[in-house]
Amino acid sequence: MAVRHIRLFPDFVLQTPCRPIVRIGPKTSDLLRDLKHTLQASHGVGLAAPQIGISLQAAVINVAKDPRKRFLGGSNHGLAVVINPQIVEARGLERPREGCLSVPDLLANVRRYAWVRVRALNAEGRQWILEVEGFEALAFQHEIDHLQGRLFLDRVANLSTDLYRRQDLQR
Amino acid sequence: MKHYLLFAAGKDRPGIVAAISRILYRHGCNMADSTMTRIASEFAMLLIFQAPAGWRAERIGQELQRCEKRLGLFTGIKPLASSESRALKPKGRAHIISVYGADRPGIVYRVSRCLASKRINITHVSTHRTETSRAAGYVMLLEVELPSLRMAAGLNKSLGRLASGMGLHVSMRPVETAKL
């Protein structure tokens, strides 16, 4: 079992857009195995390759056991492996408070879609389309952001307060 | 009715808000807009209050001094012209800017100088320093008013240049509001 060290902000690898994986071979299998094992050993619901220092477009997501899934509801694909994922369609709006294994000190109210359709390759290199909703949709968007060199800090929906004067809305 | 700005700051502990609001209440003053928050181990309050006709700020001076001693606070009062006590009409579309990366001197100064040079008004700023055993990180989140949407592209370019020169990541997006 290879549990890798999780890279922490401000590690530059977290700010760098990842390269797509062009050939799925033994190295990809090793990377996916390490991602799964490291995710299992953490308290997170998703892990992207740059979080273990590899700048390639691969991530694993598993919301099945997370208690927040019960409150936020939505889909559940169990342990999902995505390679070169892309959001091809999105709907709805959520403003969850989000954190990240790589930015352990901070939380922020962010802006996310409530439902997304994702096109990706699976561990065998076959294309698959997933429709994810609710908490799982938030996790997918968070991990796909990592693969593009973005953190949840780029999705902040407002600063310091959730209440504004009506006058402030006349924008 | 005259308006005043009051600030108070000191080591965070229970009773600071109660002590300040009690003084205002006892003097018949109405608290209007305020922002109160804890920053590290300090608690800071900034508020506007309305005072009854004929009231003078010196009247609560002694009580505030006692409060300063008892709770270890630093306080001050500033009178406001009536126009200053009203919320300003927005001078453009609100945008949020995120800037983050390894901590280094000058991040706040250089980002805010870039905005000031374009006469862009900052309405909120929040900064956070994080520290791990390996390195320190810095996060700066700003809400700004862009007088025209045409400015967004130019600002994005300037901030992008600034950020890449400092090894930082920057992103900007409009604040979306649903008026129902």
| Residue B125, in any domain of the structure | yes
Instruction: Kindly determine whether residue B90 and residue A170, on different chains, have CB atoms separated by under 8 Å.
Output: yes
Number of C-beta neighbours around residue B100 at 10 A: 27
Chain A contact probe: residue of B86, B100, B159 with most A CBs at under 10 A: B100
Q: How confident is the model at residue B5 (pLDDT cuts 50, 70, 90)?
A: very high
Between B94 and A73, whose confidence is greater?
B94
Which tens digit of pLDDT belongs to each residue from B131-168?
Answer: 988 899 999 999 999 988 889 999 999 999 999 999 99
* CB proximity B127 to A under 8 Å: no
Residue B179 lies in a domain: no
- What pLDDT band is residue A163 in, cutting at 50, 70 and 90? low
Q: Is B110 on the interface with A (CB under 8 A)?
A: no
Are residues B115 and B144 located together in one domain of the fold?
yes
Least CB-CB distance to A158: which of B93, B137, B175?
B175
Contact A156 B96 (CB under 8 A): yes
Number of domains in chain B: 2
Q: Tens digits of per-residue pLDDT, B35-73?
A: 999 998 999 999 999 999 888 888 888 899 999 999 999
Does A4 fall in a domain?
no
| Residue A87 confidence class, pLDDT cut points 50, 70, 90 | very high
CATH number at residue A38: 3.90.45.10
Same domain, B72 and B100: no
| B173 and B93 Cβ atoms separated by less than 8 Å | no
* Mean predicted lDDT score pLDDT of chain A: 91
- Kind plus residue range of the DSSP H or E element containing A78: none
Tally A–B CB contacts below 8 A: 83
Residue B180 in any domain: the answer is no
DSSP summary character for residue A134: B
Residue at A29 is within a domain: yes
Find the domain containing A82 and state its range: 12-160
Asked if residue B109 belongs to a domain, the reply is: yes
* Interface residue B103 vs chain A (CB under 8 A): yes
Question: In whole angstroms, what is the distance from residue A75 CA to residue B64 CA?
Answer: 56
**Is-catalytic flag, A136?**
no
Share of chain A above pLDDT 90, in %: 76
Residue B18's CATH number? 3.30.70.260
Domain containing B143 equals 93-174
| pLDDT(A168) > 60 | no
pLDDT per position as a tens digit, A35-65 = 999 999 998 999 999 999 999 999 999 999 8
Q: Is there a domain that residue A171 lies in?
A: no
Residue holding tokens 């370019």?
B157
Question: How many domains in chain A?
Answer: 1
Chosen domain end from B59, B85, B111: B85
Cβ-Cβ contacts under 8 Å, A16 against chain B:
none
Q: Would the pLDDT of B118 be above 70?
A: yes
ipTM of the complex: 0.79
**In 3D, which of A1, A109, A120, A126 has the Cα closest to residue A61?**
A120
Length of chain B (residues): 180
d(CA A145, CA A154): 9
Backbone phi, then psi, for A125, in 5-degree steps?
Answer: 90, 10
CB-based burial, A21-59: b 16+ in 10 Å, e otherwise: beebeeebeebbebbbbbbeeeebbbbbbbbbebebbbb
Q: Are B7 and B62 in the same domain?
A: yes
